[in-house]
Chain A
């Protein structure tokens, strides 16, 4: 079983719609959760972090965490063509070093 699982996509949404990206993880002691955006040929860029159950909003982005279900999601409201990228979910156990485990990413396509 993969430690962090994401649907590879592509997930296609029309411009202006809500994009919903999902991620499940296997280790129950995971403490921190992150979403990165990666454009083709570029390095990942941190867009959201979440540490406790519930929702966390930042602009058009909302991260949702449910530790009981071992599930974390990212909602992108009012999707724009510039949001077209691969979104990586990352999970961190407790500890002194940020040894993140990454999912393989979901490719999002926002169509005009």
Chain B
């Protein structure tokens, strides 16, 4: 079964600073990869998904971008963080049986 590595666990950043969150996956090849965000008291919102290297789909317009430079690496970025970017960011991966599994998440606080 696959293992999803996501770091850091917590991050505090000032408004206007850049962001880079990295996710790597082990134990599978050519996975579909996802970035979700969970704001306080709200549900999980799909931000980006990728079916392959350099193939990124954005679900909602926002201040964030994603890249997939390698098969098992997915990166979430921002050039200038906003207060509204605060939340719990989750990388996820699905296997051939289409079940979605999550990494441990990054709690981002923008101050």
Contacts and interface: CB of A to CB of B under 8 A. Distances in A.
A95 to B, nearest CB: 9
Interface in A82-112: 88, 90, 92, 96-105
A10 interface: no
Interface in B21-74: 32, 34, 42-44, 46, 49, 51, 57, 59
B9 to A, nearest CB: 10
A100 B92 CA distance: 11
A42 interface: yes
Contacts of A42: 104-105
Contact of A97 (B49, B102, B104): B49
B47 to A, nearest CB: 12
Contact of B43 (A45, A88, A99): A88
Contacts of B46: 99-101
Interface stretch (B11-19, B75-83, B93-101): B93-101
A17 interface: no
A44 B94 CA distance: 14
B86 interface: no
A59 interface: no
Interface string A1-26: 00010000000000000000000000
A44 B44 contact: yes
A32 interface: yes
A88 B32 contact: no
A106 B103 CA distance: 21
A43 B100 contact: no
B43 A98 contact: no
Interface of A: 4, 32, 34, 41-46, 49, 88, 90, 92, 96-105
